[in-house]
Amino acid sequence: MKKIGLIGYGWLGSRISTVISKNYKIYTTTTSPGKLQEIISKGIHAELAVFGKGQEEFTDPWSVVPDLDVIIITVPFSEKRSSHQELQDKFSKLFSFIGKFEKQIFFMSSTSVYPDDPGIFTEEMLRPEDVFVENHIKKGFPRVNILRLGGLMGDERLLKNFKVSDLSGVVNHIHFKDIAEVILKMIEKNVHGKVYNVVAPFHPSKREVIAAQNKQLIDKVHDNNKQRIISSEKLISELDYTFIYADPKKFHL
């Protein structure tokens, strides 16, 4: 059985683990001492690893790395929440923790790297070298797969549970199960060095999504030509991938 290292057992990491643990042995990390025993009780090998600001001391390099077949990094690296210096320090800790790893590796980026303007955005419109965070992960791991994730949804994360503005705007969302299945597909195909937008291919308005989640019927009220749409066509074509949750109006079903 292949061994997967999952760095970051937060909201997304824990759900990816639930999906992929059926076929792979999971080794993971958490920043919370309180969560450690809870994770271990699920039969998952877990260790503490903190990469954030203010951590004077840091854990030794991850001892399991030489035995891993795949590493998935879900630890967030947000330019909106951290300065470039803080992010550089965080990457330095991450690189020291992983060490040399030349097998398959995944990094969770975000569609927020694209301009907040109307239009259809594809991967070719923005190189990783021109994105601060993506450029840094590629310096450490040149063959890394970068997944630009849409708004994370699934389970209790439903649009109706958020304070929402601009209800006429369309969504660029993704269900966590599709993220996990895309990763599994890429592992199966032994894909390296790719950048993919991981976003559900349908883009209803926020009003439509909330109405569906509240079991209400409304007419379609937006014009996609005037909206910001993140395209997942490259992923669909190259991986021959069929989304489990293609329509965000059905994420709650």
Residue 126, in any domain of the structure: yes
Q: Is the pLDDT of residue 221 over 70?
A: no
Question: CB neighbours (10 Å) of residue 194?
Answer: 18
Q: Is the pLDDT of residue 222 over 90?
A: no
Residue 136, in any domain of the structure: yes
Residue 169 CB-density burial (10 A; 0-12 exposed, 13-18 middle, 19+ buried): middle
Residue 156, in any domain of the structure: yes
Q: What pLDDT digit, counting tens, does each position of 160-190 carry?
A: 999 998 899 999 999 999 999 999 999 999 9
Looking at the chain, the whole-number percentage of residues with pLDDT higher than 70 is 94
Residue 56, in any domain of the structure: yes
Residue 69 belongs to domain spanning: 3-160+173-203+228-250
In this prediction the pTM is 0.94
Residue pair 70/104 in contact by the 8 Å Cβ criterion: yes
Residue 213, in any domain of the structure: no
Residue 210, in any domain of the structure: no
Q: 125: domain CATH number? A: 3.40.50.720
